[in-house]
Amino acid sequence: MSRLAWTQISLRRQGRLILDRISLQVGAGEMVGLVGPNGAGKTALMRLAVGLDHPSEGQILLDGTALQKIPPRERARRMAFLPQQAEAAWPITAREAVRLGRLPHDDVKGSRRGDHWVHAVETALAAVGMSDHADQLLTRLSGGERALVLLARALAVEAGLLLLDEPTANLDPAHQLQVMEILRHRASQGDAVVVVMHDLALAARCCDRLLVLHQGRLAAQGCGIAILDDPLLRQVFRVTVDRGQIAGQEVFLPRSWVA
């Protein structure tokens, strides 16, 4: 059974068709990259998956159950979402921000905070390399450091499903690789991971599958760089590329944009 499934999903806003009959599945232990040009519908698809928006047609299944039938608190325990351009300007420390990821596991009075609750927070901070900054205010951290704290907050949920919208957007190359390694490790431990990416080469290298969206439709899906052929890159992403081999792996570099 898939962990998450979009089944014949369509979304309309003010008469405009945003998503058109999309069907996708993500399984346990799988890291899937969701790629496509700006406005392709990637963020819309993610927001539907966590219940922030509702489809005009079709349904979303979480572990085989329709999403709307799962209580919000249970949903928050079973999936963690890191939205695009998430803000973190509150006057709280990094550790306090990560603790927010544990709230779905509290009872009403917040009395179930045992050793594992604390361990999950500290483990998440360590995973993103922010333990030494745990007591600093978010407002004193750099944009990249705040992005890592927000990733740690998502990891602290310990959900079996991670959905992340451009988690590497504000990071330097070293931290981009670090984040992708963290997500690959979570998938290797059995989690389902869906990550929106704009860096096609990094997505192809790190993800088990790529799902290519274009104008609200699924244009292609497959493994690695093989599906990113020249016609697709020209038609969907409006770029031509130079290709080569490094250490036996095919790589490409965008060369020019196509009008």
pLDDT in tens, the chain (259 residues): 689 999 999 999 998 999 999 999 999 999 999 999 999 999 999 999 999 999 999 999 999 999 999 999 999 999 999 998 767 667 899 999 999 999 988 765 545 567 777 899 999 999 999 999 999 999 899 888 999 999 999 999 999 999 999 999 889 999 999 999 999 999 999 999 999 999 999 999 999 999 999 999 999 999 988 899 999 999 999 999 999 988 888 888 889 998 7
Q: What is the pLDDT of residue 88?
A: 66
Measured between alpha carbons, how far is 224 from 227 in angstroms, rounded to an integer?
A: 7
Q: What is the pLDDT of residue 108?
A: 55
pTM, to two decimals: 0.92
Locate all alpha helices (DSSP H) within the chain, ordered by sequence.
Answer: 42-49, 72-78, 94-99, 115-127, 143-156, 173-188, 200-206, 230-232
Interatomic CA distance for residues 158 and 259, integer angstroms: 44
Nearest to 196 by CA among 177, 210, 184, 186: 210
Tokens of 15: 């008469």
Q: Considering the domain 4-89+161-228, what is its CATH architecture? A: 3-Layer(aba) Sandwich (3.40)
